[in-house]
Structure 1
C-alpha cells in the first residue's frame, strides 16, 4: 500500500458521537500534513462520502448506529485496496483484527477511546495505517503478557520491548529514541525478533504487520 507522495494525507472520520467526532476533526485538521476530507456519523453516510480515491485513511468507530464499523471497513477496503483503516472502540476489542479476511488484513490499526491515547499516538496510527502497517493501542499492549509456550514468550526482554513499540507504530528511529539505543541496534533486535517468530522477508507480506498481529495473537491480559 502506498499513499500519494505529494499533498497532504487525506483522512476521513466515521464516528457517531458528535463531540468526539468534532474533537478528532479539530485535532487532525490542525496537524501539518493531514487534511480531513469527510467527517460523518453513520455507515450510510460513509459509503456515500467515501468514493474510491477520496481518502488515504479512514478512522472508523466500531459501533455505528446503522452498522458495524469492521464490516464497513472491509467494504471500503475492497472498493479501495490502498485505503488505511484505523478502528476506534470504547471497548477492548483489539483482537477483532485477528478475524479480518486475509485479502484486507494489512493496514488496519486499533485505538481504544478509553485508554490514555495522545494526539501523537493518534497521528502516528493514522500515518501508519495509510502506508499499510498495523498499529495497536500502546496502553492496551502494556497490559498484555506473552502466553506460555508461544514464540513471543521466547523473545528476549529487549526484543519483546522492541516488538511492542513496533506494534504501537514507532519507526526504528523512534524506537531507538525511546529506548536510548542506536537505530542499528534496533534493527538487530528486530532481525532477531523476526527470526524467533519465524517471520521471513516475503515481499508479499509486510513483516511489521505480521509481527504486530503475532504479538496480538500470542499475548493475553496480565494476571
Structure 2
C-alpha cells in the first residue's frame, strides 16, 4: 500500500557560530517532516555540499567568514531554481531582500537572530521557503509603519494587519485563528489588499511573495 505522507523537507544549515548552528540543527532535526541533511560553517563548504537535488531549503547566515550568505544564496538559486533560501542575521538587514535579482527573488525568507523568533516561526519559515514563499521576521514587521503616500498606507487597519501576518508566513487559516475571524473573511481582506496594491494573478509570480515584498518596500521604522 502506498503512503500518502509527503517526503520530508531536506534542510542544509550554513552558520559559522557553532552554538547557533547546533541549535538550528537540533531544532529543525527534531521537527517531524524535516531532515537536516548538512550543517556547515562556511560558504566554501556549502558550495561543495549543496549540489543540485541535495536539499530543498538552505538556511544561510548572512555574515560568513569566507563570504556573504546572500551572494551564496543567489549562486545556489541560479543553479537550483527550486531551492528555498532562509536568511539569518544578527542585524536588521531585512531590506536586503529588496535588492535580490528578480530571477531569484521568490522563495527567500528573513529572520533576525536577535528578535524573539520562536521555534514555531523558524519552522514555518523553512516550510514556506520550501514551497517558494517569502516569510519576514514578525517582530521586525511589528516595528514598521507604512510610508506616507504609499499604496500600503491606503490599506485599512484590518487589511494592513492581515498583510503583516501574511508576510510573517501565516496561512489564511492561521490568520483567521490569530484575528478571531473566519477564513472566508481573511480571503476577502487578502483580495482587497491585493487590489489596492495592484497585485494581479500573474501565474509566474506568487501573489503572497509580491505582497510581502511590497510591504517591505513601502514601510519604514515607526517614528
Alignment TM-score, normalising by the size of structure 2: 0.97
**1:10 is paired with a residue of what secondary structure?**
strand
Unpaired stretches in structure 1, ≥5 consecutive residues: none
- Using the alignment, how far apart are the partners of 2:160 and 2:85 within structure 1? 25
The aligned residue for residue 178 of structure 1 is: 178
**1:189 is paired with a residue of what secondary structure?**
helix
Unpaired stretches in structure 2, ≥5 consecutive residues: none
- Residue 7 of structure 1: how far off its partner (Å): 1.6
The aligned residue for residue 160 of structure 2 is: 160
- Using the alignment, how far apart are the partners of 2:10 and 2:183 within structure 1? 30
* Runs of 4+, deviation exceeding 6 Å: none
Q: Provide the aligned C-alpha RMSD in A.
A: 0.6
The aligned residue for residue 207 of structure 2 is: 207
The aligned residue for residue 76 of structure 2 is: 76
Cα shift readout 1:18-43 (whole Å, capped 9, x = no counterpart)? 00000000000100000000000000
- Residue 102 of structure 1: how far off its partner (Å): 0.6
- Using the alignment, how far apart are the partners of 1:7 and 1:86 within structure 2? 20
The aligned residue for residue 142 of structure 1 is: 142
- Residue 84 of structure 1: how far off its partner (Å): 0.2
**1:87 is paired with a residue of what secondary structure?**
strand
The number of residues matched between the two structures is 219
Cα shift readout 1:125-155 (whole Å, capped 9, x = no counterpart)? 0000110101000000000000000000000
The aligned residue for residue 59 of structure 2 is: 59
Alignment TM-score, normalising by the size of structure 1: 0.97
- Residue 6 of structure 1: how far off its partner (Å): 3.2
- Using the alignment, how far apart are the partners of 1:177 and 1:53 within structure 2? 36
- Using the alignment, how far apart are the partners of 2:100 and 2:166 within structure 1? 20
- Using the alignment, how far apart are the partners of 2:131 and 2:8 within structure 1? 14
